[in-house]
Amino acid sequence: MNAAVNSGAEGFLHRFDGLRARLPGTRMPWVQALREDAATRFRSAGFPTRRVEAWKYTDLRPVSDAGFDEALSILGDSADLPAPLCDRRAVFVDGRFREDASTLGSAEFAVDGLAQRLPQLEGRLGSLARPQEEPLVALNTMLFEDGLVVTVPAGVAGGLLELASFASGSERPAAFHPRHLIRLEAGASLTIVESARGPAETRYLHNPVFEIEVAEGATLTHTRVQQEGAKAFQLGTIYARVEAGGTYDNFTLNAGGRLVRNEIHVTLAGPRATCHMNGAQLLRHGQHADTTTFLDHAAPDCASRQTYKTVLSGKSRGVFQGKIHVHQVAQRTDGYQMNQALLLSPDAEIDSKPQLEIYADDVKCSHGATVGALDAEQLFYLRARGIPEEAARSMLVQAFLAEAIEGVADATSRAALEAAVSGWWEPAA
């Protein structure tokens, strides 16, 4: 395949044509219909450009121009992997479920690879995702090969589950598109700690899509630690639907990758549903990270909280776009959104776009954004007490981030976030 055919939207469409007969679900008409429809939509839309309002601040040309091949997993045995965070761990390498490296154990709920469960997923796969609106979701639907399927029965406390994704690394750029389906039935609970890592010198694309269903009175805590390789691209999309009295609590840390997009769509579909979407972005020279959220208040008496913090050094760029949409029926909505950025370099840039779209008249909604540098007086205070300048700067950055991380209630999730933040820090450029 030459470079012209291998790159851009045509490259992925060419790959789909070549893989049609080998992708999971080939003999299932409903799967093939999903894939063909997604391919048609992706062929029509292509990669979104900056002329599209939702992509105004993020240029996908580096992804489009890269040219990707099929992922060929070369990671060795489970001894090559970092130690697990908990007893239950699902491991993915290049987007494929590795049962041999996973430790699922026995429990009151099922954790499986999507490829092996595909015959039972008609009506569930694709029920929340919107490939007709999101080209990258269409790309995932067209080319997904595997993913995680979790179902927690009604009333079951699922405990802690680790979802660990690794890129194995190869000489040729690879792309993988896992599709994860998570369902909590009425009154169930689960905490997921998701991590994503890859080799520093390998160029690859990780394009995951989550479809999350939180039933009445259920609680899902979802902590994400993104530490992709320095040349990697991650374009992740989450769709979550929360029913009456349910809670979806998401914290996303972006600390790796060359270009990252964290897009979250949450619908509060039943009365008294709750959503917390918080996170942090830690960006060095040359990195670009985009957090875009869409929070749909579609029922009365619901509450939402969003707080995102970004630290930028060198010539890096951060983006925050957050939209709260309150339907007319969603009376007594309580929504809050805040974006804060700390610039450690004159070459760093942050684009912040908080939005409220309200059609109900009995609501309490607010949003805001702050951008600034390290406080000179605080820095002087620390220096005056004998603390070296770089150590003082580091302490102030850590303090800026600590407020966000301290809000994560689960100890294992919080420890994973603190370890990632500690490993990221180095003196500002």
Q: Would you say residue 253 has pLDDT above 90? A: yes
Token pair in block for residue 39? 């391919």
Q: Go through 85-102 and write b for each residue having 16 or more CB atoms within 10 A of its CB, e for each that does not.
A: beebbbbbbbbbbbeebb
Token pair in block for residue 217? 């009175």
pLDDT tens digits along 97-129: 999 899 987 778 889 999 999 999 999 999 999
Token pair in block for residue 183? 């369902």
Q: What is the pLDDT of residue 69?
A: 76
pLDDT tens digits along 303-333: 999 999 999 999 999 999 999 999 999 999 9
Burial of 134 from C-beta contacts in 10 A (0-12 / 13-18 / 19+)? buried
Token pair in block for residue 395? 């302490």
Q: What is the pLDDT of residue 20?
A: 87
First and final C-alpha spacing in the chain = 40
| Contact status, residue 230 vs residue 255, Cβ threshold 8 Å | no
CA dist list (Å): 209 to 144, 158, 166: 9, 22, 16
Between 81 and 91, residue with greater pLDDT:
91
Among the residue ranges 5-19, 106-120, 160-174, the one predicted with the least confidence is 5-19
In this prediction, residue 2 has a pLDDT band, given cuts at 50, 70 and 90, of very low
Among the residue ranges 249-263, 322-336, 372-386, the one predicted with the least confidence is 372-386
Whole-number Å distance between alpha carbons of 339 and 350: 10
From the DSSP assignment, how many helices (H) and strands (E) are in the chain?
Answer: 9, 22
Phi, psi (degrees; rounded to nearest 5) at 188: -80, 165
DSSP state of 101: G
Whole-number Å distance between alpha carbons of 171 and 176: 15
Q: Would you say residue 72 has pLDDT above 80? A: no
Q: What is the pLDDT of residue 429?
A: 42
Q: What is the pLDDT of residue 105?
A: 76
Q: How many CB atoms lie within 10 A of CB 355?
A: 13
In this prediction, residue 79 has a pLDDT band, given cuts at 50, 70 and 90, of low
Nearest Cα residue to 84 out of 198, 175, 137, 161:
161
CA dist list (Å): 69 to 174, 227, 427: 5, 22, 36
The CA R_g of the chain, rounded to the nearest whole Å, is 21
Q: What is the pLDDT of residue 6?
A: 59
Residue 289 β-bridge partners: 260, 318
Token pair in block for residue 27? 């003999």
Q: How many CB atoms lie within 10 A of CB 26?
A: 12
Nearest Cα residue to 407 out of 226, 303, 280, 297:
280
Among the residue ranges 32-41, 366-375, 398-407, the one predicted with the least confidence is 398-407
Distance of alpha carbon 373 from the chain centroid: 27
In 217-362, the DSSP E strands lie at 219-227, 233-242, 247-254, 259-268, 274-283, 288-297, 303-312, 317-326, 333-343, 349-358
Total-model pTM: 0.93
- Size (the chain), residues: 429
| Contact status, residue 355 vs residue 387, Cβ threshold 8 Å | no
Token pair in block for residue 247? 């809670």
| Contact status, residue 349 vs residue 312, Cβ threshold 8 Å | yes
Token pair in block for residue 204? 């690859």
Burial of 132 from C-beta contacts in 10 A (0-12 / 13-18 / 19+)? middle
In 133-203, the DSSP E strands lie at 148-152, 157-166, 174-176, 179-184, 189-197
Burial of 235 from C-beta contacts in 10 A (0-12 / 13-18 / 19+)? buried
| Contact status, residue 192 vs residue 221, Cβ threshold 8 Å | yes
Q: What is the pLDDT of residue 428?
A: 41
Q: Would you say residue 3 has pLDDT above 70? A: no
Q: What is the pLDDT of residue 71?
A: 66
Token pair in block for residue 295? 């929070």
Whole-number Å distance between alpha carbons of 231 and 236: 16
| Contact status, residue 101 vs residue 81, Cβ threshold 8 Å | yes
Q: What is the pLDDT of residue 191?
A: 97
In this prediction, residue 362 has a pLDDT band, given cuts at 50, 70 and 90, of very high
Nearest Cα residue to 43 out of 8, 23, 11, 13:
13
